[in-house]
Amino acid sequence: MIGFYNYTVVLTYIGTIFGFLGIQYIVLGNLKLSLLCLLAAGFCDMFDGKIASTRKRTRQEKRFGIQIDSLSDLVCFGVLPAQIGFHCAQQKTAGLLISIAYLLCALIRLAWFDVDEEERQTHSKEPREYYLGLPVTATALILPFLIGIGSMINIPFAEVSHLLLLLIAIGFLTPFQLRKPHGTGILLLMLVGLTAFAAVLWGLSA
């Protein structure tokens, strides 16, 4: 079979499966399980790069890793959140248009990142220290956290999730520097993720 098969890509494939499951759940109207799948996909994405860095890879393997990661991200953090926004907007025209805009912004962001990362790796073997613009994976924390917390304190974030997606989409294409989290930053993100998980789990009806 065409491709590279080793442990460095397994977590990416698992994340893609969660993304696909999340899409199916939201199509069936189950917001709770869909958001949990989005969180699970984000967790997989958080650690797949670190796992890949433990193996010495050829240039072709690295380029394959970049491409497979971005394709997975498009499913998990592009299509899935767009579907969630459309569902929560009660499938109205405004929700559809915003979801389409969000998906296109995520697609453009991922394509640009692939080009930028390949060029960066030709000049440096050091890990990336800064992102330019908001990474698409940020949606995996922002959306479940706000919807979950909102459901617990009676703020209807779910009903305006398509508007949240619009703001996130603008962040994808806005060229500001965002430091890549390390150490304490990763622990903080994990804490936010666990909080979002608990809020979605107990705050939303099945």
DSSP per-residue codes, 75-134: IIIIIHHHHHHHHHTTT-HHHHHHHHHHHHHHHHHHHHHHHHHHHHHHH--SPP-EEES-
pLDDT of residue 195: 95
* Mean per-residue pLDDT of the chain: 90
Rounded distance between C-alpha atoms, residue 202 and residue 204, angstroms? 6
Q: Return the pLDDT at 171.
A: 96
pLDDT digits (tens, 9 = 90+) for 47-104: 887 787 787 878 788 888 888 999 999 999 999 999 999 999 988 899 999 999 999 9
Residues 6+ away with beta carbon under 8 Å from 145: 192, 195, 196, 199
User: Residue 46: how many CB atoms within 10 A of its CB?
Assistant: 19
* Domains of the chain in sequence order: 10-203 (1.20.120)
Q: What is the pLDDT of residue 190?
A: 92
**Residue 7, pLDDT score:** 81
What span, in angstroms and rounded, lies between the C-alpha atoms of 142 and 145? Answer: 5
Model pLDDT for residues 103-144, shown as the tens digit of each residue: 999 999 999 988 888 787 777 777 778 888 999 999 999 999
CB 206 within 8 A of CB 32: yes
Cβ partners under 8 Å of residue 96, min gap 6 = 86, 89
Separate counts of helices (H) and strands (E) for the chain: 8, 2
| pLDDT computed for residue 62 by the predictor | 81
What pLDDT sits at residue 28? 96
pLDDT at 47: 85
* Amino acid at site 160: V
pLDDT in tens, 17-51: 999 999 999 999 999 999 999 999 999 998 887 78
What integer pLDDT is reported at residue 204 of this predicted model?
A: 87
- pLDDT over threshold 60, residue 206: no
